[in-house]
Amino acid sequence: MVFLALTIVTQIGGVAWVMSRLMKYKLAAFLGIYTGLTVMTLYVAPIFCRQAIACGSDGALQVQSWFYCITNRTYVSPELAGVLEDLAREMDEKHPGTVTLVLDGNFPFLDGFPLLPHLSHDDGEKVDLAFFYKDETGYLPGKARSPIGYFAFEQGPTQCPKAWPTLRWDFESIQPLWADFGLEEARNRSVLEVLVDDPRVAKILIEPHVVDRLGVQAPKIRFQGCRAARHDDHINIQL
């Protein structure tokens, strides 16, 4: 069970755990082996046509939480990395000081290996972006409402019924825990417009009521469906 859990969350953690069972100081061995494998993965992943989005950057493109870095969930194809770099640069040109935040990308190895709980992040060609937020002082660079960018939903009308099985969680009980930020509509509108104009981007998944609120319509912008996770806390883009 530990092997499965670590493999599901990090892809390489299960291997590190098995190797650490052979050592005397198992916890220390696991941490050391996992760290070593994580560093090694940075150099091996390009063989599988994946590269990591740089963690710890203070530029226009940043990973929202170190959680995604230490769990190896920031890997994307070189083409998608180019999309993100161009997007962040253009957003900073349109709105100086803008920080584009990346959430879940993909694991470093093997097409078809699921990055749970996502249904489609399994080939290096999908990535999630955090919304842009503001408070009474204005735009908040590099800030999200929740610690990992997900599950802080923008409430709005939906046609989705309460059905099972589904990944469409509402998490109503934890909504009061999140920061009281509002959507920075100008930047969220701009990011959709830039993505729509990029010929490398095939799909943009976002909740319909957010699209209506931002006033951007295009064939690429689609509803993810009622059985997938809610997309009124982030934007999913696909090559």
Cα distance between residue 19 and residue 194, in whole Å: 45
Q: Does domain 51-238 have CATH number 3.40.50.300?
A: no
Domain boundaries, the chain: 1-48, 51-238
* Residue 8 pLDDT grade (very low, low, confident, very high; cuts 50, 70, 90): very high
pTM above 0.95, yes or no: no
First vs last C-alpha separation in the chain? 34
Could you read off the pLDDT of 151-203 as tens digits, one per residue? 999 999 988 888 777 888 889 999 999 999 999 999 999 999 999 999 999 99
Reported as half-sphere exposure (CB side, CA atoms, 13 A), residue 35 has a value of 6
**How far is residue 30's CA from residue 9's CA, in Å, rounded to a whole number?**
15
* pLDDT digit string, tens, across residues 68-98: 999 999 999 999 999 999 999 999 999 999 9
- If pLDDT is split at 50, 70 and 90, which confidence band does 120 have? confident
Give the chain's mean pLDDT: 93
